[in-house]
Amino acid sequence: MPESGQKTTQGHITERAPESIAGPAARRTGLLVTLVLGGLTALPPLSMDMYLPALPEVTGALAAPAATIQLTLTACLAGMALGQLVVGPMSDKWGRRRPLLIGMVVYVLATAACAFAPTAETLIGFRLLQGLAGAAGIVIARAVVRDLYDGVEMARFFSTLMLISGVAPIIAPLIGGQILRITDWRGVFHVLTVIGVLLTLVVWRFLGETLPPERRHEGGVGQALRTMRGLLADRVFAGYMLTGGLAFAALFAYISASPFVVQEIYGASPQTFSLLFGLNSIGLVAVGQINGKLLVGRVSLDKALGWGLGTILVAALALLLMTSGAFGKVGLVPIAAGLFVLMSAMGLAMPNTNALALMRTPHAAGSASALLGTTSFLVGAVASPLVGIAGEHTAVPMAVVQLTCAVLALVCFLGLCRPWRAPAATAGAPAAGA
């Protein structure tokens, strides 16, 4: 039976009203909550990518080797991955609002500290703290969606979030470049600090608590670890987690290799690369909207996910054949087309893996969201350096990594999730070691 406050449609539990919010704003399902949650998920990519154009300037200003300055990116990424494991269980115990506001305040302080860092080592430390705190936005935004929605409505909302969060990696380097026209690299962190302050105020004012006390977990670190162990013991949840992480790794491989592949191997200008990068991001967002507006509710989430994984696999195979010379010498246009198809298919894979995994975990949405996010970041971080393993004159490693990730993602999906055995009506079933 559905929980109190839910309604069913075509066998799906579609919406859950958070009991802890009263009045007309009981379910902020409109534009405002979408923008708030979208802002929370967009803040980490803004923190990473807005800083990229400033890297050469930072190297000179802090008199540090380029490899040391690159660690400021690694530290932020590692913080985002590990921070989710901490914040997710905290939000299951104390509710969503308190850990989120604490994380946002710490993010603002850490970002402001980055602007005044006197040495590269200090900057690395503050960037690690910035990533740890910024992880609160990623993990709690997903958990809030799980609190508010279930079934097809949750998948639709994740697709809508992609419209906002998917734009962030496109505009962040452009914003960073414009900031550097009027100030130095420290100004980038000043702007990020202002964004953090504004978003914190918006969260404090407009995002109410979505996890009522009766649905919270008691206990400390031990209980959190037991909860995560229980989630990982659930074969189906683990399958969706690994499927999403591996698909995300294929995306990371593209992000890591595409500047080198497009500009160095195929001779495109930085402007052409920026155009192609933007088109691919638009493709991802557009397919995500097609998924949310047209497919969800008409096609099962597992089937839509299967289509996405199959398309990624075909695109990665085509890229491998083209880059390895199987079709003779090919130019940039076919390669760009293959990357566009692969990236666009992520709009089917990413929102549906999140939705299907979280549908099984209404009792531990924060911990489940943490595991999903951390797995994606860690698997992506492992895949990224592999794209350059064969040197600077071939794109084959990128295609090999993408194809390997696509094959493994499909194997996890079919072997662990077994979608032919999972009726849609199981949405919201507690995780169990099935």
Calpha distance 84→97 (Å, rounded): 15
Instruction: Give residue for tokens 């995780």.
Output: 431
Taking every pair of Cα atoms in the chain, the longest distance, rounded to a whole number of angstroms, is: 65
pLDDT of the residue at 248: 87
**Two tokens at 326?**
């199987």
Q: Per-residue pLDDT tens for 171-194?
A: 777 788 788 888 889 999 999 999
Note whether 113 and 61 are within 8 A (CB). Answer: no
147 Cβ contact partners less than 8 Å away, ≥ 6 residues apart: 16, 18, 96, 210, 211, 365
For 6, phi then psi, to 5°, come to -110, 160
Cβ neighbour number for residue 162 with a 10 Å cutoff: 23
DSSP H/E element including 74:
helix 66-94
pTM score, whole prediction: 0.72
- Per DSSP, helices labelled H in 298-395 are 301-323, 332-358, 365-383
Q: Can you give the length of the chain in residues?
A: 434
pLDDT of the residue at 109: 97
**Two tokens at 206?**
């407009």
- The series of mean pLDDT values per 10 residues for the chain, 434 residues long, is 38 38 43 83 83 79 80 82 85 88 96 95 94 90 84 78 70 79 91 95 89 75 75 91 92 77 79 79 87 85 94 96 88 92 92 87 78 83 72 80 95 90 46 37
